[in-house]
Structure 1
Amino acid sequence: MNLEISTDPNRLDVGLIHHFLSEDSYWAQGRALEVTRRAIANSLCFGAYRDGRQVGFARVVTDRATFAWLADVFVVEEERGLGVGKALLAAVLAHPELQEVRRMLLATRDAHTLYAQFGFRPLDSPDRFMARQAP
């Protein structure tokens, strides 16, 4: 497949990531570039690269001990259906710094089937979880 997954932050194409998130995603429309930069700087990030060009991204917000939030996962349109998303998720779940994490959460509108293949499922006790969202 000639696909490489890397956590090297120096390889990330911040312009590509920001454009996808702020223009093409349903969850981060209009996100400011500085917000994207801060999110990347404070997360464990995974880039998917084909022939040196970034084609996918995943970001994990974590304490690297007990909890992780999988966020901002995407694959560029022309690479969808080629296993990039699966490779990204496999790399995230295999990362040595995430092996002791007890709970990893995510939110998705349309990729339940993909995430279910990796053991994600609806919350057992959604009544125990709460959220605070800024207006």
Structure 2
Amino acid sequence: MKCLNKPWSISVCREVALADLARQQRLRLIWSRKWFRDAIEASTDPSLLNYRLIAQWLGATIPDSRALILALNNSLCFGLYRNGRQIGFARVVTDMAETWVIRNLFISPEYRFVGLGSWLLHCCLSHPGTRGCRHIVAMGEPVPDFFERNGFIACPSLPGIWVTASHDGINDPICARSASSH
């Protein structure tokens, strides 16, 4: 787009430039990332995801396969792998500006209770996309106290919802009121 030096076009050019910068930043943020812990790897590379396995794990949550594929393709997905075999999964729905929602965190039953769920959650929280996000929310049906042990606060008024106690120094007002009532 060519900018003209007229007063009305300056703001349009600035908006186009800001939109272009936002697109570039989004591409940098969704670029594949990896974390390692001994023989375990966490990755955001979508080509590594085992869609059949994820469909088995999330079948009760998202029973429609078309809806599941749409959800996975439009989310930032974290896979957990051991020797190339997928053993865990977490999905993040985000605008990469203010809100980061962690959904569908799942660890294969034979790998539970050794800290891999907490580590995968930490990988989700340490992703560069969380920088600047004011609201980090976790949604799901985890084992009792899982999110609380990992720094989240339950929202009694919203079952299945947990928020970070504080992120960037800002408390979530809805759940702050709920947390103070019990």
- Length-normalised TM-score, structure 2: 0.62
**1:89 maps to 2:121:** yes
Out of 14, 17, 38, which is 2:54 matched to?
A: 17
Cα contact 2:105–2:140 (8 A) shared by 1: no
SS in 2 for 1:64: coil
Out of 45, 58, 66, which is 1:34 matched to?
A: 66
Q: Deviation at 1:44?
A: 0.7
Q: Deviation at 1:110?
A: 4.1
Q: Deviations 1:13-52 (Å, cap 9, x if unpaired)?
A: 1110011110xx5xx1x61111111111111110000111
- Residues in 2 aligned to 1:2 and 1:82: alpha-carbon distance in whole angstroms: 13
SS in 2 for 1:121: strand
Extract unaligned runs of 5+ from structure 2: 1-37, 155-174
Q: Identity of counterpart residues, as a percentage?
A: 36
Cα contact 1:55–1:75 (8 A) shared by 2: yes
Bigger Rg, structure 1 or 2: 2
CA RMSD of aligned residues (A): 1.6
Q: Deviation at 1:108?
A: 3.5
Q: Deviation at 1:68?
A: 1.6
SS in 2 for 1:81: coil
More helix by share: 2
Residues 1-135 of structure 1 mapped to structure 2, 5 A cutoff:
1-22=38-59, 28=61, 31-122=63-154, 123-126=175-178
- Residues in 2 aligned to 1:19 and 1:52: alpha-carbon distance in whole angstroms: 18
Cα contact 2:44–2:79 (8 A) shared by 1: yes
- Residues in 1 aligned to 2:52 and 2:130: alpha-carbon distance in whole angstroms: 27
**What residue identity is the alignment partner of 1:114?**
F
Cα contact 1:6–1:46 (8 A) shared by 2: yes
- Residues in 2 aligned to 1:32 and 1:17: alpha-carbon distance in whole angstroms: 12
SS in 2 for 1:111: coil
Extract unaligned runs of 5+ from structure 1: 127-135
User: How many residues in Structure 1 have an aligned counterpart in Structure 2?
Assistant: 121
Greater RCO (Cα-Cα under 8 Å, separation 6 or more) = 1
Runs in 1 of length 4+ with deviation above 4 angstroms? Answer: none
- Residues in 2 aligned to 1:109 and 1:77: alpha-carbon distance in whole angstroms: 15
**What residue identity is the alignment partner of 2:84?**
G
